[in-house]
Structure 1
Amino acid sequence: MSALVRVAVLGGHGKTGRAVCAALAARNVDALPLGRADWSDLAAAVAGCEAAYVIAPNLHPDEPAHVAEALAALSDGGVRRVVYHSVASPYAPAMPHHLGKAVSEDLLRRSGLDWTILQPGAYLQNLDLSGPLDVPYSPDAQFGFLDLADLGRAAAVVLTQPGHTGATYELATRVATVRELADEAGVEVRRVPDPKTHPWLSTMFDYYDDHGLPVGTQVLSALLGRSGGERSDG
C-alpha cells in the first residue's frame, strides 16, 4: 500500500490525466486533477500534495516555460516528488514539439526535486479502429504503441513506489504498424494527404514516414510486473 495521501495531476482533466487519476484511485491514493483555471495560484492549489504528475497541453507553443512555471509553483507549494509526462524520442530535431519536451526534461533534472520522467509511445487510443482508418503517414511505419490504461498504471507505480527517483522510462504496450493493427481489427487502412492543421504535426508525419516511432516494451512489463515483452489487454 502506498504511503502517499494525495497526488496533484497537472493537466488532470484530459485523457492522459484521467487515466493517471483512475490508476491512482485504484491504489487508494487521492488524485487532485488540476487545469489551467487552477494556475492563478498553483502553489496554493497543490498544498497538502506529496507528489505531482505534470502533463503539458498538447502542442504547447512553449512547453519549457509552462513546465518551468509548474515546477516553481510545485516547489513553492511544498511538493518534492514530481513525475513529468514527456514523449518517446524527445530529442528529435525534426519535431519541434518533441524538442520542447527534451528541454523540459532538462529543467526537471536540474530542478532539485525528486524526479522521474515517463516517455510514452503513441497512444493506441489515438487510432479509431471501428471503421476504415485514415492516416497521413505510412501505415507500414513501426511504432511502440501505448495503451492509456497502461500509462496510468505505470504513472501510479512510479508515483507511489520507491526506487524510481532519477529514472527515465520509455513506455510501450506493444510494437506494431498501423496496418497490422487495422488488419487485426478487420478494417481497411488508407494513406491520406496531410490535412496541414498544424506545422508541427506536418513535420511529425514526415518523421513517421522516415523513421516511425519505435519503443521497446520490456520497461513497461517490468514496471507493471508482467512476464514477457509485449501485451495489449488494456
Structure 2
Amino acid sequence: MRVGILGGHGKTGRSVAAALERRGVAVRLLGRADGPQLAERLAGCDAAYLIAPNLHPDEPAYVTEALAALTRAGVGRVVYHSVASPYVPQMPHHLGKAVSEDVVRRSGLPWTILQPGAYLQNLDLGADVEVPYDVDRVFGLADLDEVGEAAATVLVEPGHEGATYELASRIASVRELAEEAGVRAVRVEDSAPAPLSAMFAYYDRHGLPVGTRTLTMLLEGAPR
C-alpha cells in the first residue's frame, strides 16, 4: 500500500507518515510546490491524507483542487484533516473547514474526516503558560503522536469510509495542565492577528470541549 500525504512536511504530516511507516506502509510526502504536478505525484497511491496549509485564506478552494488531483490520479480514498467543532461562525477559519468537509463528502471519493482538538504540544509546559483567554475553560486536547496513529488506522483499515471522528486525548483546562507541570497558568493580553484573535475570544467564552472515547477506540491495537 502507498499513501500520499498532502501537507506532509508539517508536524501533522510527519506524525501521520511515521505512524504509517511503523505499519510498513509506503509514504509519499507532498507539499505546496507539488501543486502543478500533484496528480502526477499522486500516481500509484492507494489513499491520501489531506491537510490544508494552516489558516489558508480559501481552504475550500484548496481542498477542491486537491480532490480533483486525487481523482485524476486514480487515488482510491481520502482522509481529510479537519478540526473539532468546524461549524463555529465566530471562528472564520473553522468555517473554512466546515465548508471543506462538505466538499469532501460530495467529491465522489470514499472519505473519512478527522476532527482533532488543539494539540497538547502547542502548550509549552516548561515555563509559566501564558494564553490570551480564560485559563479555566475546558478543552479537548489531542496528542500529536496519537492523532498520527489514529490517521494511520483509518487509512489502512477497512470500515472507516463515511465516518467523521472527533479526536481528543484528554479533557482539561490550561490551569490543570500547568499545575500538573509545576508551573503557573497566566492570562495575558490578546495581540494576535484577526483570525487567531477571534478564536481566542471564542475560547474565552466557551473553551472547546471534545470527547476522548473515539480516539481511545481508534488507538486499540495501534503500534506504540
3-state secondary structure, aligned to 1:45: helix
1:174 to 163, 170, 177: 170
- Give CA deviations for 1:12-45 in whole Å, capped at 9, x if unaligned: 0000000000000011001111001111110000
C-alpha separation between the residues in 2 aligned to 1:33 and 1:42? Answer: 11
Superposition pairs of residues 177-188 of structure 1, within 5 angstroms:
177-188=173-184
Consecutive unaligned residues of structure 1, counting only runs of 5 or more, are: 227-233
Equivalent in the alignment of 2:206: 211
- Give CA deviations for 1:132-154 in whole Å, capped at 9, x if unaligned: 11101111110000000000000
- The one-letter code sitting in structure 1 at the alignment partner of 2:5 is V
Q: CA RMSD in A?
A: 0.9
- The one-letter code sitting in structure 2 at the alignment partner of 1:175 is I
Equivalent in the alignment of 2:58: 62
Stretches of 4+ aligned residues off by more than 3 angstroms: none
Equivalent in the alignment of 2:215: 220
1:14 to 7, 10, 15: 10
> How far apart are 1:225 and its partner, in Å?
1.5
Residue 147 (1) aligns with residue 172 (2): no
Sequence identity (%): 67
Residue 44 (1) aligns with residue 40 (2): yes
Superposition pairs of residues 60-99 of structure 1, within 5 angstroms:
60-99=56-95
C-alpha separation between the residues in 2 aligned to 1:91 and 1:180? Answer: 27
3-state secondary structure, aligned to 1:103: helix
Query: Which stretch has the larger CA shift, 217-226 or 201-210?
Result: 217-226
Q: TM-score, normalised by structure 2?
A: 0.98
